[in-house]
Amino acid sequence: MLTFKNVSFQYPEDDYAMMENLTFHVERGAFVSLIGASGCGKSTIFRLINRLLEPKSGEVYVDGKEIHTIKSYAGYMPQKDLLFPWRTIEQNLCLPMEIQKVGKAEQKRRVDEVLAQVGLEAYKDKYPKDLSGGMRQRISFARTLLTNAELMLLDEPFSALDALTRMDMQEWLLDQWHHYHKTILFITHDVEEALFLSKKIYIITETPMHELTIVDVPEGYPRNREFLGRPDIEKLKMELTMQLRKGGMKL
C-alpha cells in the first residue's frame, strides 16, 4: 500500500539530513505503529506522504502509484481533533466531501452511515463543545474515513486523553480497523500502545534515518489486554524501549 524508495530529506534550517536513502514498505490492510524519540522524524514521514514536504530525492508510492500522480490517497487524523466549533458534527463530517465536490444527498448518506458505525448518530446536530474528548476523537476518525482513502495516517490521536478513555479508544479503533479494512500507519510514543494495536512496529533509532527496524507483534486478532502481561511481551516491551534509547535517544 505504501512504499518509500530511497527517500532523502533535509529541512532547510538544519545542517543535517533527517533521512538518507530511506526505503520501507507497508502492506495493504496492515496496522503499523511508528515509534521513535521526539524530533526523530515520525511526523516528517507523514508530511512527505501527504506532500506537505517534498523529498530531496527518492519517491513515495501509494498503491503502486507515485503520489504526485494521484489524489485523495491518504486520510490524516492529527493529535488534536481540529473540529470547527461553529459547525455541527454533521457539517464537520461533510468537510472532506465538500472539498471533493460530492453531492449533498451522497454527503448525507455517508455521514449517516459512518455516524451509525461509530455510535454517535444522536449527536449529528450537536457542536464539538457538546462532546467529550473521546467522542470528539471518534468524530475526527469518522471524518478521516470520509476522505474515502484506503491509507490512514493517525498522528498520536489518543495522547491527550486520560488513561481509561485512551484504553477504550484503542479497543474501539481496532474494531473500526476490522470493520473498514483500511491500512493504518499510527504514530505513538507509547510502546505498550504500539504493542496492543499493531501487527508490526517500525522503529526509528537513528538520525538521519537510513532504515527502520521492523518488529512483528507475536499475537493475533482479536486481542485483549491480558496478552500484554505475558513474559515474552514484557521482554519485547523492554527490548523496544532499549531500541529507542540507542545512541542516547530518550522517549
Q: What is the pTM assigned to this prediction?
A: 0.88
Residues 148 and 182: beta-carbon distance below 8 Å: no
pLDDT in tens, 144-190: 888 888 999 999 988 878 888 889 889 989 998 998 899 999 999 89
For the structural domain made of 2-73+151-248, what CATH number should be given? Answer: 3.40.50.300
Q: Is the pLDDT of residue 243 over 80?
A: no
Look at residue 246 in the predicted model and tell me its pLDDT: 67
Question: Which residues is 62 bridged to in the sheet?
Answer: 2, 65
- How many other C-beta atoms are found inside a 10 Å radius of the C-beta of residue 138? 24
Residue limits of CATH 3.40.50.300 in the chain = 2-73+151-248
Name residue 8's amino acid: S
Q: Is the pLDDT of residue 80 over 70?
A: yes
pLDDT in tens, 14-34: 888 899 999 999 999 999 999
Pairing state of beta strands 213-216 and 57-62?
A: unpaired
Whole-number Å distance between alpha carbons of 128 and 137: 10
